[in-house]
A and B are shown apart, each in its own frame.
Chain A
Amino acid sequence: MKAWAARAALQLALPVVLVIGWWVWSESNDSFFFPPLREIVQAFEDAWIWERVGSDVLPSMTRLLAGFGLAVAAGVAVGLLLGSSRLAYRAALPLIEFLRALPPPAIIPFGVLVFGLGDGMKVVVIAAGSVWPILLNTIQGVRSIDPRFVEVNRAYRVRARDRLCHTTLPAASPHIFAGLRASLSIAVILMVLSEMTASTNGVGFFLVQSQRGFALPEMWAAIVLLGIIGCAVNAVLVMIQHRLLAWHEGARGSALSEVR
C-alpha cells in the first residue's frame, strides 16, 4: 500500500507541477495564443461536459472504433493467411511494404473523392491507414510459432479449425497485440486528420473550427480532450491485453525465474 502510494505520488508530481506552473504563468500573461488555463478549463467544461459529447465526441469515437475494428479484422485475417503460406507471403510482401510506406494521410484525398465526406470515408481511411502494423505483426507471429506446437497438433491429428483457433491464433497473439498498440495510435491520428480535412462534426472538426474562429480556449480544450481520448483508448487496449495475455506474462515470468 505504501509503495503503491509512493509510486502514484512520484508519477503525479510532474504533471501537477506543470499544470500549476501553466495556470500561474497563463494567468499573468496576456498572450492571445496562450489564454489563461482557467478559461481553457471553462471552455472544456462548456463544450465537453456534456454538451458536445453527443454531437462531436460520439461521432468521433464511432468512426475510430469502426475503422480500428475493420483494421483488426482485416489485418488478423489476412495476416493469418499470409503467415501460414510461404508462397503467399513472398508474393504479397513487396506490395505490403509499399502500401505500408505510404504516409497514411496521403489516402485522405483519394478517400474523399471516392467515398465523399461521410462517415464511410473516415472509417475507410482509418482502417486503411492503421491496418499495416496489425497485418505485419500477425504475419510475424504466425511465422514464429514454435514448430514443436505444429508437431504436437499433427501427431494428435488436431483438426484445422482447432489448430487455427487454439494454436495459431493464441501463439501469435503477443505479436498481434504489439501490432494493435501501434495501429491504435495511427487510427487516432487518422480520425482527427480526416475530421479536420472534411467533416461537419467530430472533435477534429471542432478543433479546426475553433482555430478558424480564433476561439483559442475552445481550441485548447479540444486538444486536451484528444489527449484524454488517446490515453483512454490505449488504456482500454492495455487492459484487454493484460486479460488475454496473462498466460504469456506468466510463462515468460517463470522462464525468466528459471534462468536466474
Chain B
Amino acid sequence: MVLDVVNLSKAYGHGERSTLAIESLTFSVRAGEFVCIVGPSGCGKTTLLRSLSGLVKPSGGQALIHGSPVDGPPEAMALVFQDYSRSLFPWMTVARNVAFPLRRKRMPKAERDAAVAESLAAVGLADAAERYPWQLSGGMQQRVAIARALAYKPEILLMDEPFASVDAQTRSDLEDLLLSVWEAVDVTVVFVTHDIDEAVYLGDRVVVLSPSPCTVDRIVTVDLPRPRDQLTTKSLPRYVDLRTEVFSAIVKRPAPDG
C-alpha cells in the first residue's frame, strides 16, 4: 500500500463549539492505482484532501505513506487545486511555474529544463512554455497545474476537484488527458470530485463518503476495461450499473432491482 488512511478524523474549533468535518475515515490506496473520492457537497472532501496532503493536521488517526505518518506536506506528493487561476503564479511564465517547485530539488539546470519540457509536452502545452497563465484558457491553465505536479515526479498525485470549474467539453478532454498521462507515468492518483460520472469513468475504485461528518460509506470497485473512452465506456451497461450504485449510495436510496 502506498497510502493508508487510518481512523482519520478532523474537527474545527474547540470544545463545545467545535464541528466535526470528518468523523472517522479508513481506506487504502495501492501503488499505481487511480482512486476517486466522491461525496455529497459539503461532506468534507476538501478537508480530507488537505489532511492527506499535510496542509492541516488531523484531529485523530493518521494518513500513512509507505507506513510512515504524514506530518507536513510529504515529498512524495503533488497537489492540483480546483481553482487553477489562483494556484498558478501570474508573474511567472508557464515554464517557470512548472519549474518553480523543482528549485529545491538539487538538479542541474539542463535536467530541470528537460523535466519541465517533458511535462509540458505530456499535457500538450509544449508551445505555451513562454506564455503567461493569464494568457491561456481555463482548461489550459489546469493543464499547466497538472504539468507542474508531474514535473515534481510525485508518487502520489492528489487532485481536489480539478475539473470542477471548466466547461463540459473541456472537462471530458481533461479527463482523457489525465488518464493518458496516468497510464504513461508511474503515479498513484487520488482524485476528489463531486461528480459521480467522472468518478466512475476515471477510477479503479470509488470511495463513497457519507454526508457530514463524513465516514466511508462504501468502496465501489470499478471493473470497467481500460483504456476507457468517453463514448464506448459510458455506454456500457456495467458503467450504468456502477453509476447507479454510487448514486444511490450518495442519495441514500436503494438501487432499483434488475
Which residues of A does B touch, CB under 8 Å?
146, 148-149, 151-152, 154-159, 162, 166-167, 170-171, 173, 247-248, 250-251, 254-255
Contact of B103 among A155, A162, A173 (CB under 8 A): A162
User: What is the CA–CA distance of A22 and B100 in the complex, to the nearest angstrom?
Assistant: 59
Question: Chain A residues near B135 (CB, 8 Å)?
Answer: 250, 254
Is B104 part of the contact surface with A, judged by Cβ < 8 Å? Answer: yes
Which residues of B does A touch, CB under 8 Å?
53-55, 73, 75, 77-79, 81, 83, 86-87, 89-92, 100-101, 103-104, 132-135, 152
- Please tell me if the beta carbons of B100 and A157 are within 8 angstroms of each other in the complex: no
Given known A247-B91, A250-B134, A251-B134, contact A154–B55 (CB-CB < 8 A): yes
CB distance from B5 to the nearest CB of A (A): 18
Number of interchain pairs (Cβ within 8 Å):
66
Smallest CB-CB separation from B92: which chain A residue? A166
- Please tell me if the beta carbons of A159 and B104 are within 8 angstroms of each other in the complex: yes
Question: Chain B residues near A170 (CB, 8 Å)?
Answer: 89, 91
Determine which residue in B53, B55, B101 has the highest number of CB atoms from chain A within 10 A of its CB, and name it.
B101
- Please tell me if the beta carbons of A251 and B104 are within 8 angstroms of each other in the complex: no
- Please tell me if the beta carbons of A158 and B104 are within 8 angstroms of each other in the complex: yes
Contact of B90 among A157, A162, A248 (CB under 8 A): A248
Complex A-B: 12 CB contacts under 8 Å: A149-B87, A152-B79, A155-B73, A156-B73, A156-B101, A157-B73, A158-B100, A166-B100, A170-B89, A173-B91, A247-B90, A251-B90
- Please tell me if the beta carbons of A156 and B152 are within 8 angstroms of each other in the complex: yes
Question: Chain A residues near B81 (CB, 8 Å)?
Answer: 148, 151-152
User: What is the CA–CA distance of A157 and B102 in the complex, to the nearest angstrom?
Assistant: 10
Extra inter-chain contacts (5) besides given A151-B55, A157-B101, A162-B103, CB under 8 Å? A156-B152, A162-B100, A162-B104, A166-B100, A251-B90
Question: Chain B residues near A156 (CB, 8 Å)?
Answer: 73, 78-79, 100-101, 152
Given known A149-B86, A254-B135, A255-B134, contact A155–B79 (CB-CB < 8 A): yes
Question: Chain B residues near A151 (CB, 8 Å)?
Answer: 55, 81
CB distance from B6 to the nearest CB of A (A): 22
Smallest CB-CB separation from A253: which chain B residue? B134
User: What is the CA–CA distance of A157 and B75 in the complex, to the nearest angstrom?
Assistant: 8
Question: Chain A residues near B79 (CB, 8 Å)?
Answer: 152, 155-156
User: What is the CA–CA distance of A158 and B105 in the complex, to the nearest angstrom?
Assistant: 10
User: What is the CA–CA distance of A159 and B91 in the complex, to the nearest angstrom?
Assistant: 18
Q: Top 8 A-B pairs ranked by shortest CB distance?
A: A156-B101, A251-B90, A251-B134, A155-B79, A170-B91, A148-B86, A254-B134, A247-B91
